[in-house]
């Protein structure tokens, strides 16, 4: 558990600049585009001495500024460098400039990032001699101090060696080559080669790693296990052997003493070097030496060990980063990143014909987690992974793409619904006692039709969404038509965002009148959109997009305020007693702040609440009637009236309809359009009107287009009407004239 002192805190004031720098100070250059990071770092380290050196802090807020500062300042010991600044690779480009163009090899570089997804490639750490890489949330005060201390120690040792022996270049080169090795075994083999090169002897030796054994609960055992991880020359046959199996007492004894004493042992005919590790898994190297090493060579090896120990930590770090990027720990399958690279490899080599990508998505997985817990959900995911890998692991690439989605890449005859669905049709056995029946939706995309791995996953995802529109347990194959429709929807959504931001949406108003007398009662506010070409986009095209994207909440608040301001202006002009009907989408209605936003609009515009009518669809009212009732009662408490829009098109529960505080039923235009086309149309409309009378609700018919429809509605007892027969939707400036002509 971290103490408060361990956490990086943000200073309120920046450190005062120092004009004089003592010779024994160590300069720390902080390169980051975030002012808070500069303050937090200096606050965490200010006043501290590291290895007897006071610290001086230099600041750069961009890669360009850092280049300029490095050209002016000398003897910079450590560079704390942000990976992502003015661009995603600004930090790595700066490292390249420092090492390659400025030829600065002594400053130690610690990479930091707040975005783990931008971790540097293995080649970057290898080529540019980077000491460490940390995410910013890892860097507590203690860890920052530890990393900087290790870097300054490395810097000091390199500087001392540079002054006494030109072998420094060999050490730095060795470090770079060793970091490039992938995995501990290759890294250890490289150590033997580099030590031999430094000492000018043959590559005869071995490296042992010390590992702490763990029991089934993950606790460390008492005695460490020492295993040979690399060997060369006459020792080559000892790889993967335990130390006690080595039949040479001389070799065994030297390595045991080195690891137990945690120090280098320099003997007349051999060298045993100790490489510490913060994890406790230390390792040691044994090299034959023809004679006792000179004091300079011994000092050289000490520096080498310190430097290589840092490289070893980097090697372990890179291995962990690689695992996190390419192996899903929960299900032990490759990740999305690895899957995309596998697809890209097929594309680059031209082997896409006959290959298909399939996505398998578990239906209602979120509900499973909520009902049975995340441990149960994890067991379901592991069960799916084992089924897929067990059946397809040798012929296909399997990966976990996201939370409950798995990917399969293989030949088209294998990656198809008829082959995949039976694999998951049998229930999963969870915790050796519970049978869990799966429902899965699948989407497929042919590899020959894509240009990248990302495109393949995107296409298959679109196919999954298409399959889900027909219900759970379905599948679909991506086609060009699906892609075209998606691109059109995406373009329309971007245009809608721009239209809303640049106020190209407007409100139109359609009158609502007394069906018997024609007297104006109010207006319905309707959202309209005219694009850059002057063409109208139908509401049934852009309203669903606004709902899916969440844009509808902002649009809804805007139209409510606009409509109520219009009503307020009409009242000021003498048109009293009119109401304003405003449509409310399901997304708006479900928003937590919806009631507050209605109250705020009424308060800000000064319109009497009784003159505000909110129209909700029948599907909204019946979605969760108990919760809807609570919200409607809260709205009624504000004083507004409630209308059910498009009534008759859904499947209402009459018992809930009777309980809900509804003032008005709005007869859908589809029934009004058929009212004069025979007995059936009239009968349905008559039933709705009779129901409204029974429930003591007012009735309004929309879509009235001719006098014949109006007369039939009057005869049936409908109270109110709206439609083209009375007026088309009009702009706010035209309302006054219409009221004057029709009052």
Q: How does pLDDT run across 345-360, given as a tens digit for each residue? A: 999 888 889 999 999 9
Interatomic CA distance for residues 341 and 288, integer angstroms: 44
pLDDT at 494 over 60: yes
Q: How confident is the model at residue 472 (pLDDT cuts 50, 70, 90)?
A: confident
CA distances from 378 to 421, 434, 453, 536 (A): 21, 14, 27, 49
Show the domains of the chain with their CATH numbers. 1-164 (3.40.50.2300), 198-328 (3.30.450.40), 329-478 (3.30.70.270), 502-742 (3.20.20.450)
| Selection from 339, 480, 501 nearest residue 410 by Cα | 339
Phi, psi of 133 (to 5 degrees): -140, 125
- Kindly state the DSSP code that residue 592 receives in the 8-state scheme: T
Range with the lowest mean pLDDT among 251-260, 286-295, 452-461, 722-731? 286-295
Residue 492 is predicted with a pLDDT of 80
Interatomic CA distance for residues 282 and 207, integer angstroms: 11
pLDDT at 613 over 50: yes
Residue 52 is predicted with a pLDDT of 82
Interatomic CA distance for residues 660 and 642, integer angstroms: 10
Over residues 552-575, mean pLDDT: 94
pLDDT at 705 over 80: yes
Q: What is the 3-state secondary structure (H, E, C) of 409-443?
A: EEECCCCCHHHHHHHHCCCEEECCCEEECCCEEEE
In the predicted model, what is the mean pLDDT of the chain?
82
Contacts of 477 (CB under 8 A, 6+ apart): 443, 444, 445, 446, 463
pLDDT at 163 over 60: no
Residue 16 is predicted with a pLDDT of 30
- Return the percentage of the chain with pLDDT > 70, whole number: 80
Interatomic CA distance for residues 137 and 600, integer angstroms: 40
Residue 566 is predicted with a pLDDT of 96
pLDDT at 304 over 80: no
pLDDT at 219 over 90: no
| Selection from 71, 6, 82, 15 nearest residue 43 by Cα | 15
Residue 316 is predicted with a pLDDT of 57
Residue 707 is predicted with a pLDDT of 93
Angle at 249 between CA 247 and CA 255, to 5 degrees: 105
Residue that wins the pLDDT comparison between 648 and 737: 737
pLDDT at 1 over 60: no
pLDDT at 75 over 90: no
Residues 16, 18, 24, 26: is their CA dihedral positive or negative?
A: positive
Residues 455, 460, 466, 471: is their CA dihedral positive or negative?
A: negative
Residue 607 is predicted with a pLDDT of 95
Residue 231 is predicted with a pLDDT of 78
Residue 122 is predicted with a pLDDT of 65
Residue 355 is predicted with a pLDDT of 93
Alpha helices in 469-579 (DSSP H): 480-501, 539-549, 551-572
Interatomic CA distance for residues 687 and 691, integer angstroms: 6
Over residues 195-219, mean pLDDT: 61
pLDDT at 270 over 60: yes
Over residues 597-617, mean pLDDT: 94
Contact 59, 38 (CB under 8 A): yes
pLDDT at 465 over 70: yes
Over residues 256-265, mean pLDDT: 87
Residue 700 is predicted with a pLDDT of 96
Q: How confident is the model at residue 116 (pLDDT cuts 50, 70, 90)?
A: low
Q: How confident is the model at residue 178 (pLDDT cuts 50, 70, 90)?
A: very low
Residue 6 is predicted with a pLDDT of 44
Contacts of 591 (CB under 8 A, 6+ apart): 553, 597
CA distances from 711 to 520, 678, 683, 691 (A): 17, 15, 15, 20
Over residues 292-299, mean pLDDT: 68
CA distances from 31 to 39, 69, 136, 310 (A): 12, 10, 13, 22
Range with the lowest mean pLDDT among 128-132, 363-367, 407-411, 478-482? 128-132
Highest mean pLDDT among 284-298, 514-528, 652-666: 514-528
Range with the lowest mean pLDDT among 38-52, 539-553, 562-576? 539-553
Residue 578 is predicted with a pLDDT of 96
3-state secondary structure of 187: helix
Residue 279 is predicted with a pLDDT of 64
Residue that wins the pLDDT comparison between 120 and 168: 120
Alpha helices in 614-706 (DSSP H): 618-623, 625-638, 654-659, 669-673, 679-694
Contacts of 308 (CB under 8 A, 6+ apart): 174, 175, 178, 191, 194, 275
Residue 479 is predicted with a pLDDT of 87
Over residues 49-74, mean pLDDT: 91
Over residues 561-589, mean pLDDT: 94
Contact 661, 643 (CB under 8 A): no
Tokens for 207, please give them.
């490296």
Over residues 640-648, mean pLDDT: 86
Contact 215, 197 (CB under 8 A): no
Tokens for 296, please give them.
């300079």
Over residues 18-40, mean pLDDT: 75
- Residue environment code for 566-590, b if the CB has 16+ CB neighbours within 10 A, otherwise e: bbbebbeeebeebbbbbbbbebbbe
Residue 519 is predicted with a pLDDT of 94
Contact 147, 139 (CB under 8 A): yes
Q: How confident is the model at residue 502 (pLDDT cuts 50, 70, 90)?
A: confident
pLDDT at 657 over 80: no
Residue 14 is predicted with a pLDDT of 33
Q: How confident is the model at residue 538 (pLDDT cuts 50, 70, 90)?
A: confident
Over residues 270-285, mean pLDDT: 78
Whole-prediction pTM value? 0.49
Interatomic CA distance for residues 711 and 587, integer angstroms: 37
Q: How confident is the model at residue 378 (pLDDT cuts 50, 70, 90)?
A: very high
Angle at 30 between CA 25 and CA 36, to 5 degrees: 125
Residue 198 is predicted with a pLDDT of 66
């Amino acid at each position: 558990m971290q103490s408060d002192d361990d956490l990086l805190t943000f200073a309120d004031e920046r450190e005062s600049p120092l004009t004089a720098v003592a010779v024994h100070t160590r300069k720390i250059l902080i390169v980051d585009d975030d002012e808070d990071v500069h303050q937090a770092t200096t606050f965490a380290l200010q006043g501290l001495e590291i290895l007897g050196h006071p610290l001086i802090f230099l600041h750069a807020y961009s890669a360009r500024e850092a280049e300029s500062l490095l050209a002016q300042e000398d003897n910079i010991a450590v560079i704390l460098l942000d990976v992502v600044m003015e661009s995603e690779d600004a930090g790595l480009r700066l490292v390249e400039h420092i090492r390659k163009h400025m030829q600065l090899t002594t400053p130690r570089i610690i990479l930091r990032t707040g975005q783990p997804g931008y971790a540097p490639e293995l080649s970057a750490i290898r080529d540019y001699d980077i000491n460490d890489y940390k995410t910013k949330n890892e860097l507590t005060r203690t860890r920052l101090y530890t990393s900087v201390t290790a870097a300054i120690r490395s810097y000091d040792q390199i500087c001392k060696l540079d002054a006494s022996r030109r072998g420094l270049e060999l050490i730095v080169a060795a470090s770079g080559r060793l970091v490039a090795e992938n995995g501990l075994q290759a890294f250890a083999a490289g150590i033997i080669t580099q030590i031999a090169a430094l000492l000018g002897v043959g590559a005869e030796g071995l490296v042992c790693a010390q590992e702490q054994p763990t029991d089934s609960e993950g606790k460390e055992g008492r005695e460490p296990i020492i295993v040979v991880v690399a060997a060369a020359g006459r020792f080559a046959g000892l790889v993967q052997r335990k130390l006690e199996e080595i039949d040479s007492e001389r070799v065994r004894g030297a390595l045991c003493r080195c690891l137990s004493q945690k120090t280098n042992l320099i003997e007349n005919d051999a060298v045993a070097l100790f490489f510490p590790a913060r994890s406790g898994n230390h390792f040691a190297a044994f090299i034959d030496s023809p004679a006792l090493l000179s004091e300079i060579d011994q000092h050289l090896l000490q520096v080498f060990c310190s430097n290589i120990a840092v490289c070893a930590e980097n090697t372990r770090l890179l291995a962990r980063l690689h695992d996190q990027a390419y192996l899903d720990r929960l299900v032990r399958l490759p990740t999305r990143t690895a899957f995309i690279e596998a697809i890209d490899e097929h594309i680059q080599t031209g082997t896409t014909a006959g290959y298909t990508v399939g996505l398998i998505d578990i239906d209602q997985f979120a509900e499973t987690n909520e009902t049975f817990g995340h441990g149960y959900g994890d067991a379901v995911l592991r069960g799916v992974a084992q089924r897929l890998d067990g059946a397809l692991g040798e012929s296909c690439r399997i990966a976990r793409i996201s939370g409950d989605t798995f990917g399969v890449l293989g030949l088209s005859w294998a990656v198809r619904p008829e082959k995949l669905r039976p694999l998951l049709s049998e229930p999963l056995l969870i915790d050796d006692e519970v049978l869990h029946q799966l429902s899965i939706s699948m989407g497929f995309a042919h590899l020959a039709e894509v240009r990248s791995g990302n495109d393949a996953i995107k296409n298959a995802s679109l196919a999954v969404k298409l399959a889900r529109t027909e219900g759970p347990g379905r599948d679909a194959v991506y086609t060009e038509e699906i892609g075209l429709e998606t691109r059109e929807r995406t373009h329309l959504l971007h245009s809608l965002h721009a239209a809303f931001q640049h106020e190209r949406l407007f409100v139109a108003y359609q009158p609502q009148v007394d069906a018997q007398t024609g007297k104006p009662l109010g207006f319905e506010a309707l959202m309209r959109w005219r694009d850059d070409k002057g063409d109208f986009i139908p509401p049934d095209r852009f309203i669903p997009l606004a709902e899916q994207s969440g844009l509808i909440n902002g649009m809804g608040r805007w139209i409510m305020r606009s409509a109520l301001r219009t009503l307020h202006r009409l009242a000021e002009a003498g048109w009293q007693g009119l109401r304003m009907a405003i449509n409310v989408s399901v997304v708006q209605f479900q928003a937590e702040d919806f009631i507050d936003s209605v109250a705020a609009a009424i308060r800000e515009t000064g319109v009497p609440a009784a003159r505000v009518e909110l129209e909700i669809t029948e599907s909204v009212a019946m979605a969760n009637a108990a919760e809807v009732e609570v919200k409607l009662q809260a709205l009624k408490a504000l004083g507004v009236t409630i209308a059910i829009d498009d009534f008759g098109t859904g499947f209402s529960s009459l018992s809930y309809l009777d309980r809900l505080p509804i003032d008005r039923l709005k007869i859908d235009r589809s029934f009004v359009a058929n009212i004069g086309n025979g007995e059936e149309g009239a009968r349905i409309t008559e039933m709705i009107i009779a129901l409204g009378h029974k429930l003591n609700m007012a009735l309004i018919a929309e879509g009235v287009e001719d006098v014949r429809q109006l007369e039939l509605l009057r005869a049936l007892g409908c109270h109110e009407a709206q439609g083209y027969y009375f007026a088309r939707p009009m702009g706010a400036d035209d309302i006054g004239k219409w009221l004057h002509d029709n009052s």
